[in-house]
Structure formats: C-alpha cells, structure tokens
A and B are shown apart, each in its own frame.
Chain A
Amino acid sequence: MAKIEVRNLTKIFGRNPSKGLELVRQGKSKEEIFQKTGMTVGVNRASFSVEAGEVFVIMGLSGSGKSTLVRLLNRLINPTAGSVLVDGDDVTKMNAVELRQMRRKKMGMVFQRFALFPHKSVLENVEFGLEIQGIGKQERKEKALESLELVGLKKYADQVPDQLSGGMQQRVGLARALANDPDILLMDEAFSALDPLIRKDMQDEMLELQSSMKKTIIFITHDLDEALRIGDRIALMKDGVIVQVGTPEEILTNPANEYVEKFVEDVNVTKVLTASSIMKRSEELILGKDGPRVALKRMKEKGLSGLMVVDRNRKFAGILTAEAARSLLDAQEEGKDMEDVLIKDIPTVTMDTPISELLPLMAEKQFAHPAAVVDDKGKLRGVVVRGAIFAALARNEVKHDDPS
C-alpha cells in the first residue's frame, strides 16, 4: 500500500464551494468558474500516490495550486472534497484531536520563509514540536540537539534565528521538522528564498540526509531544475490540475501536452543530462596483463588512436596512446613499462556529473583526450568523447519522434 494516497482532492475558495464543486465536475475550467461565480479553484480533483521513502516533487508556476495542495495534505486548509489517505487513515475525516496527533507524529513541515519563531532561540524552535506534545524538558532538549547536529548547527543552539543566515535558518526549519521524527516531510518551496549557491548546497544536503533517513518527502517547487535534481517523481500542476506525473526523464522526454512541453523547453539539458547518459563503453587494457603489442593490435582493429588502461581491479590508470605504445616497442628498454608512458592527466568524472560541469573540464585540455567516467569505487565505467557532448547540446530540444 502506498504511504500517501490522494484521490480526487479538490479545494474551492469562495462563498458556495458546493456549487463550485458541481461546476468542477462538469469539467468547467478555473477561468470559467471564476468568471461565472467569482470563486477560485485552488486544487481540481488531484489524484496521485506517494510511496514510502520517495521524494515526490509537486511543481508548477505560481498560482497553479501546489502550495494549496500541500496544505490540504495536513489540513492547514480544509479540502472541499476528496480524500487523503496516510497509512490508510483518511485525514479529511479526522476530528481535531486525531488531526493534531497525526500532525504531531507523522507529518513535519518546512516553510518557504522558514517560519521560525523570532522570540525563541534556535534550540527552542527545534524543540517546539516536542514541547507542545508535553515531552519533558531534558528529553526534548536531547532530541532537539540530535536534530540540530544532523543539520550541522549544534553550536548555534543558543542563538536567535535573526542572527543566522538564510541557509542556516532553513536548516533550523528542517531540524525542527525532523525533531519529531515524522514519517513524512512536507516541504513548501523550502529553498526558494535562498540564493542560488546556498540553494544548491541545501539540495545536496537534503539528498545526503535523505539517503540515510529514507523519509517520505513531498517537495513543492516552481523551479524545474530543482525538481529534476531531487525528485524521484514529479507531478506538474496547472490551474489546480495535475497534468503529468512521472520520473524526471519521462517528463523531459515524453511531455504529456503542449503545456509541459513549453514548461520544459527552457530547461538547460546540460544540467539534467549526466556523464553516464552520454558515455560510451570503452575498450580497456589491463595493466600488467596486456602489453604494447596487444594494445597496438586492438587499436588497429578498432581504428582508435588510444586506449583506456585499468589495473587488475578495474581501477582507472590512464590512457595509452598509439605513439606511446610504439615507443615502448621500439625502445624495448628494460625497466620501462607501460605505466611510465601512460597519460594520466585527463579529466575524470563520476557517473552523475552533469554535462554542464564536464564541458569546462574537457575544454581545459583542449578536448585532446576523452574524459574517463568512473563509479564511486573508482572503477572505470566508460568514456565521454567530445563529439558526444556536442551531440547532446544540439539535442537540447524535446524530441517529438518516438525514442526508439
């Protein structure tokens, strides 16, 4: 069973929501309903499910209803219709006490403008969720400090929020949400108020934390790059309607309609595509096993002017060019083995390095050699040649044909 199951969730702001609901069911658009009745459709029959441990991003322009949607999940806004099942319990049917319990135990929330209490210290802010549950002073302090340590702000515990930078404040906000140890984190444009550099750091930190915490995260953003970077799956909203749900790859390569297409066409592909998606498997020589003759023979067969060389553990060692192999053969000097003539000074990148970072690395070396792509254990997985990058850049548009 999914962790969160949302069915036909609808919110209509205005005097007579039931009438608005009727119009929504007739399939009238947000615009029409507003013209007719002056009521605003916040969310229009949204349905999706989120698996435990998944980072589910809800994305859309401002006014698309994404912030309303997230507030419907923990009922800061009461839905007009539909249901939200969390672990099988319907949030929309809960009474005040059950709802409070659910908010205290299961859902933490992080806000766009941090929403830290200015009259409380950092520690008191982080304790807040525990404090209102009536947990003892000592215990809640310990938990809060743990949570602060998680985001690396333990030594700021006695400061007040105003003394911290935006990035730090948002980490406090995150720590506050984590202190209760909820299963679900709701993050409402959590990084939008930060400047781009800090924002990227925060995204990295969050992904880092997520790899150890395995929380279910509902992440709201209006920034496609951010969505593609951190989302396991993305829901794209327009006028209160969810127009597409899918993995970042699916959204990019299979936009469901014009709107999504327009939405993603400005995306800088070089940021989304990674080295792993444009690398090629490469021919390899194994150090100490293959000699220069074997190398030359292979180069001839494959029509290459150089080969990747790895050690016996498949760790990347360098590049052997045809000239170097020949010089080894010609010289036949003892004591000079393959390792001495290898070119080691080439760009080495990991599988998920975006192309945008690959480019400058290779440009530094005048694209003289391909870049080696290694995995996190340092084993060689493939190479990226200059042509592949240019091809990818040229493809920076949505493909309309079937990707076969």
Chain B
Amino acid sequence: MMILPKLPLDKWVDWLVKWLQDNLSPLFDGISSTIEPLVDFFHSVLTVAPPLITTLLIAFLAFLLTSRWSIALFTLFGFLLIDNLGYWNEATETISLVLTATTVAIVIGVPLGILSARSRKVQNVITPILDFMQTMPAFVYLIPAVFFFALGSVPGIIASVIFAMPPTIRLTSLGIRQVAEDLIEAADAFGSTPSQKLFKVQLPLAKPTILAGINQTIMLSLSMVVIASMIGAGGLGTVVLQAITRLEVGKGFEGGLCIVIIAIVLDRITQSIGRGNPGAKKSRFLFSWKGWTALLLVLALVGAALAQQQVGAKKTITLTYVNWESEVASTHVLKKVLEDEGFNVELKEVDAGPMFAGVASGDADGTTAAWLPVTHKDYMEKNKDKVVDLGPNLKGTKVGLVVPKYVKADSIDDLKRDASQFNNKIIGIEAGAGVMQLTEKAIKDYDLGMELVTSSSAAMTASLEKAYKSKKPIVVTGWKPHWKFAKYDLKFLKDPKNVYGGTENIHTLVRKGLKEDNPKAYKIMDRFFWTSADMEEVMLDIQNGKSPEKAAADWIEKHQDKVKEWTK
C-alpha cells in the first residue's frame, strides 16, 4: 500500500555532496594540506633508515614503552618477516596511515569525549551520531571521501577517522563518568576549579579506559585503511586488494599476515601502556631514563627524516590505473620508463570511476587506461572538460562477449536460444567496468533474459579456465588485448546490433596543467605508444608468475629502440 512515491533520498544526498563540493572546497583543501604532510612525515620517519635499523629501533622502542621482552622480540621478528617478504614499503605506508588516522582521531575524539562526559546534552547529541558512524558500512564513507578529497591517502584517512573515532569518544566519556563519585566530591570539597578537577583527578583516573578506547581506534583504523586502498590509500591494503581482484591466494595471505603482524604489535604496545606496569615499583630514575631514551630515539629518526626531505625533493608523478591485466602491464612499463628518466612514480590502483575523478581533480597526474570511445564513454563524458586526452597509446582493442571455440553459439543472438546451457549466466568482471555496463545494455537490447554475474577480472578468468578444462559452455565478458586469447582457443560472439562498438583504442589521459608543471613527463606520456602484441607479452609474463615490475623491466630491456622513441 505505497501511496507516497519513493522519496528521492539518493538525489538529495547527491545534491548535498555536490553543493558541499562546490562551496566548501577551501575547507577540504585545508584538511588535505594538513593531513597529507602528516602522512608523508610519518612515512619518511619510518623509511629514512634501512629497514633493519628501523626495525631494531622500533623493537627497542616497543621494549621501552612496555618493559616486556616478549613484545619487543615479536616486533623485531615480525617486522623482519615483513621486510623479508618484500612488503616493507607498503607496511610503512600502512603504519603511517594508521598513525595519522589515530592522531587525528585522538585530537578530535578525546576533547569530544570530555565534552560529552561533562554535559548530558552533548552526550545526547553525540551518541546517535556515533551509532550512525559505527554501523554505517565502511564502504559508504569512501564514496563522499573521494568526491571531497579526490584520491589518495587523505580520503582514506578521513574515512578511517570517521569509522575509528567512536571508541575513543565513547570510552573517554565513559572513563570520566566512571570516576568514583566520592573522589569527585573530594576534589570539589577541597576547592578545585573544573579544569583542576579534570586534569588532576578525572583524566588520570580515566586513563586506562581512554587508552582502551584509543587501542580500539587503532585497530579499527587499521582495518579501514586496508579497505581504503580501493581509493588509492596505498600500503598493504593494495596488496590484499590486488590479490582479491587477481585471485592470488598466496599473495593475499602474505599481505594479510603483514597486516596481522602490525595489528598485534600496535595492540600489544597500546594495551601495555594502558595497563601500566603495576608489578614494578616505579623508580623515577629508571622511568625518566626510559622516557629520555625513547624521546631521543624518536627525535633522531624525525631529524633524519626532515634532513632527507630537504634533499629528496624529487618530482613525483602519480599514475592511476584499474587493476586489469592490460592496465597493470602498461602502467608498470610507463612507470619504469619514467623512473629511468629520474622521476619518482607513485601508482594508485583504483576503480574506473575514481580513476577518472582522480585525473580530473588533478590528484593523479595521468592514466594510460582510458578505453575509448565506448567502454569508458560515461566517465569520459562526465570529465572530458577536466582532463587532457593525449590520444591512443594502443590501437585495436575489442570488447564483447567471449566464449570458448567449442561453444556452438556464434553471435549474441544465439545466446538466447542456448541460455539454459550457460545456466542463464554471463560471467562478468568488476561492477564498475565499462564492459559491464555495455553487457547490461546488450542483455536488454538482445532480450537475452540472462543474469550478468559481477565478480572480478581474475575470478572471470578462473571460471573460464575451469569451464574450459571440463569443456563446459561458458560465456564471459571479454576484451583484447588479453593473455587468455594466447592461452585458450576463444572467440568473440558477433555483435550485429553493434552494442559493444567496433574496435576501440586505449588512450592516455593527463591532468590539466601537467604540461606546464612537468613538460618532460608530459612529453613521455604523450609519446607512449605500443601494440597489442607488446602488451600481451608483458601480460603473459605476469600471468606466468613474474612480478609486474620485473615483467615491465624485461620488456623494456628487449625493446630499447621503442622506448627511445618515447623518451627522446
């Protein structure tokens, strides 16, 4: 009995976000410019010394903070393992993100907690907001965060702060409220001012509870930072995300293990600080000795990091890409080329939408992954005034529905007849991919009545492989260039209605102003051009177990003449 039409809630939220974007951009920029340096600062502190030295220092610091050998040893071996697995850089990025998110959460959360402890009104206002913040699925924060802060670490941190701050606020408030009534009375009876009462009685007594809240915040922000890798936050999250999209179980496990190690280290250290060391009678001398040493250690690293920042003011180019095999190949090749030319290159792996948004906002310098004119048509239309299209870097791509050669169907029209053979399913890839939108259209236009299954590129190829081995019919959303054509006998289904367009090209897009800011990089990106065959070479290498960096380097080694064309 719906008499009312549907409320256009989504429209309102969209409108609100747009309005905020248009009117509050200075605020968002301000936030960005405080958070960004903080992350960089933490990161440079962690990476200024070689991993081994940093690990030793962190382990020593853990010992100073907790006075427990077990924690120090775990830290030492855990971090050595991370380094050994080759994720040191990602791990330090993740730790920097967590530290930044936690710092922001404490700076905002503890005062809010104090406020809500002191006034019932504030508490009544804050509590429902906290409930909302904690129960809203974490992914939802990522969407507006991208709109307001584009791509990169900032939206990740903002989302983490929103997601992770509630425990700090709640437990600060609780800890202060839990201080025994007669102690508060005593403080009053001796004539304390409200602030004396807060700093001399309430906060010291609430400290364990507050630290428990901060500990929770650290844990939550760690989990959120991992999720935020979807919008280019970087760090170990990217490793895990790549493993998910490419179905690499081993790599996913490694990334997950590194995250677990970091989580345990952070958890034990903060818990230990919260509990204090009641067993040991505090010798003031010892305590101050520890405090000073810890301070000196940190200062040494900070100083070194600052010194390094002065020196290493290299130009950084940020490339963003979608995690498809084709784009991994091209992006890594371009990255290597730029690095050989003396640039610092940062990669941001995101979804198609944020990829365009990132280049449009200038948050990323460029991408080599725009499939035009059809696949990414919608995104291009939205952003065409905000990006510079440098033209194709690869010609002759094709998207469409792909079946193994042994399948009878030859054209999309035939699918309708054989739909039941395929369980009425078309195996697709990531929801945001252009080919998916086209396939939805194809299902409508050809009236197939089949279901399009959303998964990932890797899951799609895994399903294809499985069906292929047992000679089962399967239909997938496919595109060329792709190594699967080299590996299996496949064919594109004919497309009489031309839903998928003919052949397409992959374009390089850069942000506006790159030409002025960094003409050299602009030139290289402008000239970057290769063929499907080149690309499939790199893709197969990666598919057969080479790391993308290694595969790109090997290809560049083999094709020096081509590369010279781009860089001359």
- Identify the A interface with B (CB < 8 A): 71, 74, 76, 99-104, 107-109, 111-113, 115-119, 128-129, 131-133, 176, 180, 186
Contacts and interface: CB of A to CB of B under 8 A. Distances in A.
Contact of A100 (B180, B186, B191, B205): B191
A133 B191 contact: yes
Contact of B185 (A99, A100, A108, A111): A111
B200 A132 contact: yes
The 7 closest A-B pairs by CB, nearest first: A104-B191, A103-B191, A115-B182, A109-B189, A115-B186, A129-B190, A100-B191
Interface of B: 180, 182-183, 185-193, 196, 200-201, 204-205
Contacts of A132: 190-193, 196, 200
Contacts of B191: 99-104, 129, 132-133
A111 B192 CA distance: 17
A388 to B, nearest CB: 46
B485 to A, nearest CB: 71
Main secondary structure of the interface of B (DSSP, over half): helix
Contacts of A107: 189
Contact of A103 (B183, B189, B205): B189
A102 B192 CA distance: 12
Given A108-B190, A117-B205, A132-B200, 17 more contacts: A74-B189, A100-B192, A100-B193, A102-B191, A109-B189, A111-B186, A113-B182, A115-B180, A115-B183, A116-B186, A117-B186, A128-B187, A128-B190, A129-B190, A132-B190, A132-B196, A133-B191
A99 B191 CA distance: 8
B395 to A, nearest CB: 73
Nearest to B180: A115
Contacts of A186: 189
Nearest to A133: B191
B236 to A, nearest CB: 38
Contacts of B186: 109, 111, 115-117, 128
6 contacts: A76-B185, A76-B188, A100-B192, A103-B188, A119-B205, A128-B200
Nearest to A158: B281
Contacts of B183: 115, 117
A116 B205 CA distance: 12
Given A115-B180, A118-B205, A132-B196, A104 B190 contact: yes
A132 B193 CA distance: 8
Contacts of A128: 186-187, 190, 200
A184 to B, nearest CB: 12
Contacts of B188: 76, 103
Contacts of A131: 200
Contacts of B193: 100, 132
Nearest to A128: B190
A115 B181 CA distance: 9
A111 B193 CA distance: 20
Contacts of A108: 189-190
Most buried by A among B180, B188, B201: B188
A38 B193 CA distance: 33
A283 to B, nearest CB: 57
Nearest to B189: A109
B205 to A, nearest CB: 6
A129 B193 CA distance: 12
A334 to B, nearest CB: 74
